Structure 1
Amino acid sequence: MSRVLHALLHLAEMDHPATSQLIAQMLQTNSAVVRRTMAGLREAGIVTSVKGHGGGWTLQRPLDDVTLLDIYRALGEPLLFAIGIDSEQTTCVLARAANAATSAALQKAQSEFEKSLAGTTVSQIGQVLESRQGGH
């Protein structure tokens, strides 16, 4: 997610479309990864793309209209935690109680995480950086 935010902040500063190759260089990855990732953002209406010479990726919406939750959802809501419940098919009462407690805690954490993301726009990230640096 931080790499996507990084790319979006760069796109906001550019006055021309950025190719997948250029974004890949910025993010130190390959252009196929960029195209797959940006496709989700395009489907969410965050970026747009133009094919061919002079084409590339541009912002479709201003970053002050894009929350971190929008980005998270556009990326397919990747799992936050590598922990989970034991077998859902268990017949053991104690295992079911442990599963219920774990599931409840994970749901609460997910909800708080999404609430935090919803309260921050991508442009606010850039503003924090600018205030720390006194500009660009």
Structure 2
Amino acid sequence: MKRDSRLSSVLHLLLHLAHSERALTSEELAGYLHSNAAVVRRELGRLRKLGYVSSNKGHGGGWAVSCDLAKVTLRDVYDAVGAPDVFAMGNRTARPECLVELAVNEALDSAFEQAQSLLIAKLSTISLAELSADFNRRFEAHPKRSRIHGH
């Protein structure tokens, strides 16, 4: 089963935007993800509706961060990308008739709910500014760093 990487991808894009001195085009951003520009536009379009990013058309246009990174949490971004399922695992059947499978489902459902709640609570404690600061620390310590991180 394929993992849902939307949250990771959007956070990746947001950090590139936050550390860019200019607006970045969908094509440039797609290059960072090894994806295509239409995917970038779709995902950032969701963030634009919430005021996290802005976009301008034409020469010199592109995407830019338009929010206070200290006020937006990873949970906010998780919600913005549609609150994807945290786990790829699930029950074999949703409405089993077998009593054994009912017991298994109840135990797994409880464990999945607790784990998801814990993860979402953790995402609520991390701001985009903290993520950005972590990147800055890593960038400064990297032996092959250049003035601009471009991949």
**TM-score calculated relative to the size of structure 2:** 0.80
- Which of 120, 132, 143 is the equivalent residue of 1:126? 132
TM-score calculated relative to the size of structure 1: 0.88
Structure 2 counterpart of 1:75, one-letter code: V
When residues 67 and 29 of structure 1 are mapped into structure 2, their CA distance, relative to the original with a 3 A threshold, is same
The answer (yes or no) to whether the contact 1:43–1:74 under 8 Å persists in 2 is no
Deviations 1:12-33 (A, max 9, x none): 1223321111111222221011
Give 2:110's match in structure 1, choosing from 80, 89, 104: 104
For the aligned residue pairs, the C-alpha RMSD in angstroms reads: 1.8
Q: Does 1:62 align with 2:64?
A: no
Structure 1 residue matching 2:70: 3-state secondary structure: helix
Matches within 5 A, 1:47-86: 47-86=53-92
Q: Which sits farther off after the overlay, 10-19 or 64-73?
A: 10-19
Q: Aligned partners of 1:120 and 1:64: how far apart in 2?
A: 9
Greater helix fraction, Structure 1 or Structure 2? 1
Matched, 1:117 2:106: no
After TM superposition, the structure 1 stretch with the greater mean CA deviation from structure 2, 37-46 or 110-119, is 37-46
- % identical equivalent positions: 39
Q: Which runs of 5+ in 2 are unaligned?
A: 1-6, 142-146
Aligned CA distance change for structure 1 residues 26 and 86 (closer, same or farther; 3 Å): closer
Structure 1 gaps of 5+ residues are: none
Partner SS state of residue 48, structure 1: strand
Contact 1:47 1:61 (8 Å CA) reproduced = yes
Count of aligned pairs between the two proteins: 136
